[in-house]
Structure 1
Amino acid sequence: MNQNWHSILIRHMLILVTLCLLAGLVSGYYGWCLAVGLGLYLGWTLKQLLRLHHWLNKHQPDEAPPDGYGLWGDVFDSIYHLQRRDQRVRGRLQAVIDRVQESTAALRDAVIMLDSDGNLEWWNRAAETLLGLKTPQDSGQPVTNLVRHPRFKEYFEAENYAEPLEIPSPINDRLRVQMLITRYGNNEHLMLVRDVTRIHQLEQMRKDFIANVSHELRTPLTVISGYLETLLDNVDEVNPRWARALQQMQQQGGRMQTLLNDLLLLAKLEATDYPSDNQPVAVCALLQSIKSDAQALSGSRNQRITLEADDSIRLKGSESELRSAFSNLVFNAVKYTPAEGNIHIRWWGDGKMAYMSVQDSGIGIDAKHLPRLTERFYRVDSSRASATGGTGLGLAIAKHVLLRHRGHLEVSSVPGQGSTFTCVFAAQQLVMQATGNGSLRATP
């Protein structure tokens, strides 16, 4: 109501009071005339309110408001215009919602909206195809009740969504889906699901090809290495000009056998998600054994290799796989640390996670190489590999072993000052055991 209607209302009230007083002057009943006049005005006002109430409750869309007079006519018109504007805004919002729903329905990727507790709120048609969600009976259900794969339940409850998760589809084991969860709003979840079956099949073909080729090469390579060894055992009977060539051939044959063994180990690690022999491993004793082997590998370089391990923490998993991963890290430190250098091996926990670190005082690694260190055959410097005889698969093997044991690898390094490789294991992989001394410290 604007200022004009304030003045008009005051003017109307003054006119009403004046008329009532004039009627009272004529009749001699001032009070009764004033009461009757105000009562009539109040009755007329209530009638207008009832008309407004009836129109608001019973009117059809776009139905014009009832005729009003004076101030009430302006009120009717204002409410009608507000309703029309609200209808236009709602129409535009509904059009946007319809377009969003049409566009998401056309996607081949599933889009799923979850509340802060992980309950289903909305999903597109692709979610019904990829995950088997059903409308409307699944609405409000926890997503972990409908996608029952243990890895998804673990992934969702861990609330660490930096990396996507790939699992078989709940409705078809031959269908592989990749899930990525993003938080938004009031701790709600937006889940995107993609069909990566084709990519998974190509990756599987690559793994099978490498595994098959590596397996098939072992027999001829074994034969070649056997004959080379026989020839070298009888080198006196061979033309001296061939002695050096035979030695190099044997050296490269041994290197190829190591490479094939690493490739076959990688293929085995990639075949399953978890190790079959999932038993508590005494990491302290395992690291003691690896330290002894590293000391032998160090030989005459007089490297100082120390071990600090908490004997009360054990790790569920495969001892052979963990030995392969840990020894790769320790032996790399021995290879790339100069004579008289320091190598420190440590195994400890903080109550939430467990850590195994290998710190060396070696040549270090430039920061630009760190993200790619665990890729197959990635080499920081080709001259390094030729000098150390590495296959380029050690860190890739370590990465896959850690993934199978719910862990990951963290690397920090400064060129010229050394590197630190840290294996981080989740709490569910740990087994705490009471020991007499609590921890073990060993030095050369």
Structure 2
Amino acid sequence: MWRLLGWALLGTCLGWLVGVPGLGLAGGFAVCLVFHLRQLRAAYLWLTLRPQGEPPTASGLWGELFDRLYRYQKSQQITQSRLRTTLARIQESSEAMRDSIVMLDRHGDLEWWNSAASNMLGLQTAHDRGQHITNLLRDPQFISYFNGRDYSEPLTLTSPIDERRILQYQITLYGDDERLVMARDITRLHQLEQMRRDFVANVSHELRTPLTVLSGYLETYSEMAEQLPPRLGRSIGQMQAQTQRMQNLVNDLLLLSRLEIDQGGKDHEPLDVTALLNSVAADARALSGHQHALTIEGDYAAQLVGSEQEVRSAVSNLVFNAVRYTPAGSAITLRWKAFGQGACIEVSDDGEGIDPVHIPRLTERFYRVDKGRSTATGGTGLGLAIVKHVLLRHDAQLQISSHPGEGALFRCVFPATRIHLPAALPRNASSV
């Protein structure tokens, strides 16, 4: 500002001496404008032609501006260098990973992937960059998983370039609706799991014949109990009970193996759930010896689409558990009712209840809340595992609610796609 005023005053004085003060003032402004234009040109040449070099030499306002720009430029260069180093280290570490990593933009197009992704998924840098992920991974299950946007659980599929390899996909959302796709080779784990299933199925199958023979001889000896010494008679009774328990365990293991291996769906048809619950309740009363009060509530007339054998097995396990693990005189209730957009089968009791700390593990094989009581009641520890697998095959969920002293509630929740409404049933039918 002082420079501008100085040139204006000098031009005015010179113009006054020659009799044209206005022209002198204009000349002073012109000189000042030329000076600023020269400084602006110097700044332009510095920033465009040699941005990494030293700033132009200047004084006053322009000198301070050049100094500030130079310091800001240096700080940005340091920041960019750190970011580039960090990005390079991330890429190097990603390249060193055995799991494949694929970065997608908000549209689902490929942005970057590591070498493991090239080996597992067959991605090629030159041709595939910018392609949509579903153009390269065309398995219908992956496309449904990708578009469903529910990535809480991983997806297991065969490799698109090698059917002998089993991959587990996990997608994570981040940033501006961008996605990170990770694929892990679980071929070895899959083979070990298959070996375990085959071993359990084969051993269980081989045990059935000797157990049947043993059970037959014990039954014969029990019929001759009056001719045997009292101590031997009691031993035969105990052997029969343990043999029956072993047969139950073998049957449950075979059922679990079939549920894990068989894809199911072939025998699914509309089921009369109310009639099924009445049948299961009759079996439970026989098991209980009529020492429990079993009731069926609700008049929801819709049918459930599924396998009658599997659904009966699941419901029977829930009801029989309620009979075994509640004291005589307890009330057990079975319900079939509407639940939000679907329907559910509920089995509740007013027994001792379960500590919530055990609930997350109840569906694990052979997990027991009270080992001594489970052994005494003849349970195998596989009932809720069977229920879990049956519900998974029916697109359903098992919900458990219980507290000590407040009984327990087991709810099998089925989606609307599994509910069949007869033609005579109004669409707004609901449970009581």
TM over 0.5: yes
Range with bigger deviation, 387-396 or 68-77: 68-77
Distance 1:117 1:313, change over 3 A: farther
1:244 correspondence with 2:234: yes
Q: 1:189 is aligned with what amino acid?
A: R
3-state SS of paired residue (1:265): helix
User: What is the letter of the counterpart of residue 25 of structure 1?
Assistant: W
Unaligned runs of 5+ in 2: none
In the TM superposition, residue 410 of structure 1 has moved relative to its aligned partner by 1.5
Measure the CA separation in 1 of the matches of 2:290 and 2:70: 96
Matched, 1:27 2:28: no
The equivalences for 1:29-108 within 5 A come to 29-57=20-48, 59-60=49-50, 62-68=52-58, 70-108=60-98
Superposition map of 1:89-168 within 5 A: 89-116=79-106, 118-135=108-125, 137-168=127-158
Partners of 2:273 and 2:127 in 1: how far apart?
A: 49
> Match of 1:345, as an amino acid?
L
Aligned ranges for residues 35-434 of structure 1 at < 5 Å?
Answer: 35-57=26-48, 59-60=49-50, 62-68=52-58, 70-116=60-106, 118-135=108-125, 137-239=127-229, 241-315=231-305, 317-434=306-423
CA distance in 2, matches of 1:100, 1:427: 45
TM-score using structure 2 length:
0.89
Judging changes above 3 Å, is the alpha-carbon distance between structure 1 residues 380 and 255 closer, same or farther for their aligned structure 2 residues?
Answer: same
Alpha-carbon distance in 2 for matches of 1:309, 1:115: 51
Change (3 A) 1:13 1:408: same
Deviates more, 1:47-56 or 1:235-244: 235-244
- Aligned counterparts of 2:18 and 2:431: Cα–Cα separation in 1: 115
Please tell me whether the aligned partners of residues 312 and 434 of structure 1 are also in contact (alpha carbons under 8 angstroms): no
Distance across 2 between alignment mates of 1:384 and 1:328: 17
CA RMSD of aligned residues (A): 2.7
- The alpha carbon displacement at 1:140 in A equals 4.4
In the aligned structure 2, how far is the partner of 1:139 from the partner of 1:262? Answer: 50
Q: Which runs of 5+ in 1 are unaligned?
A: 1-8
Give, in angstroms, the shift of residue 191 of structure 1: 3.4
The C-alpha deviation readout for 1:231-255, integer Å capped at 9, x for no partner, is 3334455455532222222222222
One-letter amino acid of the counterpart of residue 282, structure 2: S
Which amino acid counterpart does residue 343 of structure 1 have in structure 2? I
Counterpart of 1:15 in structure 2 is 6
- Secondary structure of 2:54 counterpart: coil
Cα offset, 1:228, TM superposition: 2.1
Cα deviation for residue 226 of structure 1 reads 1.9
1:141 positional shift: 4.3
Q: Structure 2 CA distance, aligned partners of 1:393 and 1:436?
A: 37
Q: Are the aligned partners of 2:337 and 2:431 in contact in 1 as well (CA < 8 Å)?
A: no
- Alpha carbons of structure 1 residues 366 and 72: separation in structure 2 relative to 1, 3 Å: closer
One-letter identity of the residue aligned with 1:340: G
2:315 counterpart letter in structure 1: F
CA contact under 8 A between 1:374 and 1:399: conserved in structure 2? yes
More deviation, 174-183/392-401 = 174-183
Rounded to whole Å, the distance in 1 between the matches of 2:123 and 2:420 is 38
1:214, 1:260 within 8 Å by CA — same for their partners in 2? Answer: yes
Q: Distance in 2 between matches of 1:256 and 1:321?
A: 21
TM-score between both structures, scaled by the size of structure 1 = 0.87
Classify the secondary structure of the residue corresponding to 2:348: strand
Tell me the amino acid that sits aligned with residue 21 of structure 2.
Answer: Y
Which is worse superposed, 290-299 or 73-82? 73-82
Q: CA 1:241–1:376 in 2, change beyond 3 Å: closer, same or farther?
A: same
Look up the equivalent residue of 1:400 and give its one-letter code. Answer: H
Residues matched between the structures, number? 430
C-alpha distance in 2 between matches for 1:105 and 1:72: 48
Post-superposition offset of 1:401: 1.1
Kept after mapping to 2: 8 A contact 1:328/1:394:
yes
Q: Give the letter for the 1:396 counterpart.
A: A
